[in-house]
Homo-oligomer: A and B are copies of this chain.
Amino acid sequence: MNNLSKEYSASYFLTPGECDSQQRMPITVLVDRIIEVATLHANTWNVGFSELAKSGQTWVLSRVTFEMHRYPRINEYYTLTTWIESYNKHFSERNFAICDVDGSVIGYARTIWVVIDTITRASVDISRFGYIADNISDRECPIAKQSRLRPLPEYEATHYRFRYTDIDFNRHVNSCRYIDVLLNQWPLDFHDNHRIARFEIAYMKEAYFGDEVEVRSHTDGNETTAEIINGNEALCRARFIFTDEHYQ
């Protein structure tokens, strides 16, 4: 067994066009990179999307949690390194370190992935993926696991209707568009004065073109918990911990 295969890294450049209005990496770009690097690593073990598609199965990102001391800034290079922390028949726990160009860690992420049958949408036993079991890494991920995200007993609400450009190649709403909808609860001024120090999201249901959703949120100090609701069902639940950071 090649020990090197237990970790996989990829480096990127943060283009101006990708930046948010604070000239930082938006958390949606971070989630896109997390998905990309996880995919590249799974491909090296032949358990990536293309391989699973042959059996009518696909990986689904179920939970993402990260903490960032700072975000990559405009025109900055950064690297994501990923490894598997644990793995059972129901899901795999895949972690990430995000480093700047000097190799200093600027954040960590934890993710939970499941495999589903693309027709029945039922979850699939992944214990047959031997390469994963052989590649559990003992590298530590020094951030707490995702908290239990519960329905909100009290909340403020806004509404949003998913449009054409929110739909992705899977024919449902892109998981990053859920995050955009959550971020758009706040005006520009709020984001100019806060940085997301910790973020958690649990994906629960898919949304489709034309779905009109309710965005519920509750803020207590520097913490906001939120849900996107379609009818009576939660599509996702999320938690933001903010820290003060002033733009210019």
Contact = CB atoms under 8 A, between A and B. Distances in A.
Interface of A: 15-17, 19-21, 23, 26, 28, 32, 35-36, 49, 74, 163-165, 167-169, 171, 174, 176, 180, 183-184, 186-188, 191, 209-210
How many copies of the chain does the oligomer comprise? Answer: 2
A98 B165 CA distance: 23
B21 A169 contact: yes
16 contacts: A15-B36, A17-B32, A17-B168, A20-B167, A21-B168, A21-B169, A23-B169, A26-B165, A28-B165, A163-B184, A164-B184, A165-B180, A165-B183, A167-B188, A187-B209, A188-B209
A169 B16 contact: yes
Contact of A74 (B35, B74, B169, B180): B169
B168 A183 contact: no
A187 B164 contact: yes
B174 A17 contact: yes
B164 A191 contact: yes
